[in-house]
């Protein structure tokens, strides 16, 4: 039987290059897909919500202006007529009943100069839905908007979670490689990169909060840090929400996207650290079953197949 001819060195190099090129192409495609699909969902959702809600918002703006004019007229009437003219009191009560939702915070006061349900505001709303932050300061008022939000939530939330998990895992691996390259010269601990990633996330949070405190005139630096951590953990209490113009809306979405990636990378790194700790417990104390340790079999018992 003839011996097989060993592969030539050039063939090995070509095979390695082809494999590397294929892996790089697959990696690039996965990144583009994880970014492209949420962006498409965001733009389509924003355009749809603007189409469904903008007309109703415009009508509410008109009605709100009418209410303000009625308030001025009623005030003039009450001040000028002190003989108990019939109808003034009942009109004022009706007015207060209708305007009270705006005064107690159940409705956002409409602003004719800065409508919320334009394209930028609608995209921002869809972003808070997709990320599950949900500040709660704006919500759809029309039946069509509510139905669309129902289906958009079902589709976009899982899509975003999968994309975020994929990109965060890749970011954690890239950061791990960088930290290990520079850290292994001084430390042999293979998990020493975790504090570095956590520190990077905290640095991002603290630095970007400076920009928030500057852009929001009534926010202190502590308010900005508080808002950032509540947003980047997707808690979204709603006690603070950003006042954004059309330009700042896109910048804020980018900030949240990068911040959520960092938070995801931190979680991924902490999970790796947890796995290492669990492996250490198993190696040192035996298998862990329902919180109890079972002693390891010794070599003599394993050979005989006898367990404890």
**What are the tens digits of pLDDT across the range 65-107?**
787 777 777 776 766 665 655 566 667 667 767 776 665 554 5
Q: Which residues pair with 287 in a beta bridge?
A: 294
- pTM listed for this prediction: 0.65
Whether 3 is in a domain gets the answer no
Domain membership flag for residue 42:
yes
Is residue 141 within 8 A of residue 271, CB to CB? The reply is no
Place of tokens 């308010």: 223
What count of other Cβ atoms lies within 10 Å of the Cβ of residue 108? 15
Give the separation between CA 200 and CA 195, rounded to whole angstroms: 9
- The CATH number that applies at residue 253 is 1.10.287.70
For all residues of the chain together, what is the average pLDDT? 73
The reply to whether 296 falls in a domain is: yes
Does a structural domain hold residue 4? no
Indicate whether 1 belongs to any domain. Answer: no
Distance CA 203, CA 197 (A): 10
Q: Report CA-CA distances (Å) from 213 to 135, 200, 245.
A: 18, 20, 15
Tell me the average pLDDT across 268-278: 69
For residue 135, tell me if it sits in a domain: yes
Q: Report the run of H or E that residue 288 belongs to, with start and end.
A: strand 287-289
What confidence score (pLDDT) does residue 39 get?
A: 83
pLDDT at residue 240 is higher than 70: yes
For 55, the domain range is 9-304
> Has residue 29 been placed in a domain?
yes
What's the CA angle centered on 124, arms 123 and 126, to 5 degrees? 65
Give the model confidence (pLDDT) of 17-43 as tens digits. Answer: 555 555 666 767 777 777 788 888 888
Which pair of tokens denotes residue 298?
A: 């010794």
> Is 2 part of any domain?
no
Q: Give the number of other Cβ atoms within 10 Å of residue 132's Cβ.
A: 14
Return the bridge partners of 293, or none.
Answer: 288
How many domains, in total, are found in the chain?
1
Calpha distance 156→131 (Å, rounded): 9
Residue 149 pLDDT greater than 90, yes or no = yes
């Amino acid at each position: 039987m003839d011996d097989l001819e060993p592969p030539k060195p050039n063939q090995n190099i070509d095979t390695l290059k082809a494999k590397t090129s294929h892996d790089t192409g697959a990696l690039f495609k996965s990144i583009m897909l994880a970014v492209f699909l949420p962006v498409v969902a965001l733009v389509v959702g924003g355009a749809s919500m603007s189409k469904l809600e903008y007309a109703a918002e415009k009508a509410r703006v008109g009605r709100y202006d009418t209410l303000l004019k009625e308030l001025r007229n009623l005030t003039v009437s009450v001040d000028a007529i002190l003989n108990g003219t019939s109808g003034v009191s009942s009109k004022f009560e009706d007015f207060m009943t209708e305007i009270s939702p705006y005064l107690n915070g159940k409705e956002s006061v409409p602003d004719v100069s800065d409508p919320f349900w334009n394209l930028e505001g609608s995209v921002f709303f869809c972003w808070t839905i997709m990320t599950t932050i949900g500040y709660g300061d704006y919500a759809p008022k029309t039946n069509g908007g509510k139905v669309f939000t129902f289906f958009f939530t079902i589709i976009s939330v899982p899509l975003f979670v999968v994309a975020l998990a994929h990109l965060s895992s890749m970011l954690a691996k890239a950061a791990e490689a960088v930290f290990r390259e520079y850290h292994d010269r001084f430390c042999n601990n293979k998990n020493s990169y975790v504090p570095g990633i956590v520190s990077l996330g905290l640095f991002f949070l603290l630095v970007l909060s400076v920009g928030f405190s500057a852009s929001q005139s009534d926010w202190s630096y502590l308010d900005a840090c508080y808002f950032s951590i509540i947003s980047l953990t997707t808690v979204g209490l709603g006690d603070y929400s950003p006042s954004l113009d059309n330009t700042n809306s896109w910048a804020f979405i980018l900030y949240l996207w990068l911040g959520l990636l960092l938070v995801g990378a931190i979680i991924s790194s902490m999970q790796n650290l947890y796995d290492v700790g669990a492996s250490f417990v198993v190696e040192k104390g035996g298998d862990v079953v329902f919180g109890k340790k079972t002693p390891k079999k010794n070599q003599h018992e394993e050979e005989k197949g006898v367990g404890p």
